[in-house]
Amino acid sequence: MGIFDFLTGEFIDVIHWTDDTRDTMVWRFEREGHEIKYGAKLTVREGQAAVFVHEGQLADVFTPGLYMLETNNMPILTTLQHWDHGFKSPFKSEIYFVNTTRFNDLKWGTKNPIMLRDPEFGPTRIRAFGTYSVRVSDAAKFLTEIVGTDGEFTMDEISFQIRNVIVQEFSRAISASGIPVLDMAANTADLGKLIATEIAPTIAEYGLSIPELYIENISLPPAVEAALDKRTSMGLAGDLGKFTQYSAAEAMTAAAQTPNSGMGAGLGMGMGMAMAQNMARTGPWGAVPQAAQPAAPVAAPPPPPVEKVWHIAVDGQTQGPFSRATMGRMASDGSLTRETHVWTAGQDGWKHAEDVQELAQLFTILPPPPPPPAG
């Protein structure tokens, strides 16, 4: 963890810190009684900042370099009170070393699905995950807002809060973007920059910044992904009839080429029988007389059409089904009007009767004229 050299007696203090943990953000220089001698040497390395706290007050922030802790090197300290010893004796202060390098490969992800309205799929849910990097941009603010008096502050103590901020801004940005789900993969770079920009003001209040934010994946629910895979397969197949014939021909060819295959032998026999039947119909020298040819099979008549039936909605209740003839009588006696909601199988939701072509004709039929007088 921290390394420092303390030369007692007539020698000066040497204050510095090196870190090999990869996740420590702040480390407090420990000294018994917090006594630091006047003229002590403070070494701040690249990627560090040293925050000087005296009697609970943040006094100064030292950037990378070598410092002698004397009055002329600490202009802010001279404004503090209770310096009656004039730096001639040890003063009680604290020094916090802050790691200002990037903390990379930090993970973020949506714990619960995000609801959004997709232009193509309608209401749907998505999940997303990715990585980000974070660094301390304002050591003084980070110490006062987040760390406090913690002598050793690690990245794990703040990463959960940052993930929450990222997910919140991602949910808001992705819902307002209007980008179709199928096009999000092509826009992950722009979305990452947009989210990082939106997060910046909130993270800056912690004294932090996010140099990079990446969206690695945006996924749909398994059921929607399965439907998309099926839709893609159908698009690749093209004409399903030809695709089925091609697949069957390929399977038969593969089976026939397999040695010692029962399926291959059966396939050969089937092809031989088909050739024999063809020769029997045509003969060895051509077509046989018409009388010898079997009569062509008579095609079976098609099945009768299925009559369409209708349901109507009256006072929040569903009635029916009714045939078209019944619907015509209902239109005549007024129990079926143009504004009545109707539905039949294959129809997309309830519609007014006048909006359905087959029923709209019922309201245009004129009633018969009155009968002639008797006699």
Q: Residue 262: its pLDDT value, please?
A: 54
Q: What is the CATH number of domain 103-223?
A: 3.30.479.30
pLDDT higher than 60, residue 261: no
How far, in Å, CA of 331 to CA of 352, rounded? Answer: 13
Give percent above pLDDT 90 in the chain: 19
Q: Residue 9: its pLDDT value, please?
A: 38
Q: What's the whole-number mean pLDDT along residues 236-252?
A: 66
**What phi and psi, each to the nearest 5 degrees, are found at residue 87?**
65, 15
pLDDT higher than 70, residue 277: no
Is 72 exposed, middle or buried, given 0-12, 13-18 or 19+ CB atoms closer than 10 A? exposed
Domain ranges for the chain: 5-99, 103-223, 310-363
Q: What's the whole-number mean pLDDT along residues 119-134?
A: 88
How far, in Å, CA of 309 to CA of 69, rounded? Answer: 94
Q: Residue 176: its pLDDT value, please?
A: 82
Q: Domain 310-363 falls in which CATH fold?
A: Dna Ligase; domain 1 (3.30.1490)
Q: Residue 352: its pLDDT value, please?
A: 87
pLDDT higher than 90, residue 77: no
pLDDT higher than 90, residue 209: yes
- Across 70-84, 86-100, 163-177, least confident range: 70-84
Q: Are 312 and 322 in contact (CB under 8 A)?
A: yes
Q: What's the whole-number mean pLDDT along residues 20-25?
A: 88
Please report which confidence band the pLDDT of residue 108 belongs to, taking 50, 70 and 90 as the band edges.
Answer: very high
Q: Are 192 and 129 in contact (CB under 8 A)?
A: no
pLDDT higher than 70, residue 18: yes
pLDDT higher than 70, residue 84: no
pLDDT digit string (tens) for 152-184? 999 999 999 999 999 998 888 888 878 888 888
**What phi and psi, each to the nearest 5 degrees, are found at residue 249?**
-65, -40
**CA atoms lying within 13 Å on the CB side of residue 90:** 16
pLDDT higher than 90, residue 289: no
Q: Residue 140: its pLDDT value, please?
A: 92
Please report which confidence band the pLDDT of residue 6 belongs to, taking 50, 70 and 90 as the band edges.
Answer: very low
Please report which confidence band the pLDDT of residue 210 belongs to, taking 50, 70 and 90 as the band edges.
Answer: very high
Q: Residue 363: its pLDDT value, please?
A: 78
pLDDT digit string (tens) for 324-336? 888 888 888 888 8
Number of H helices, E strands in the chain: 8, 18
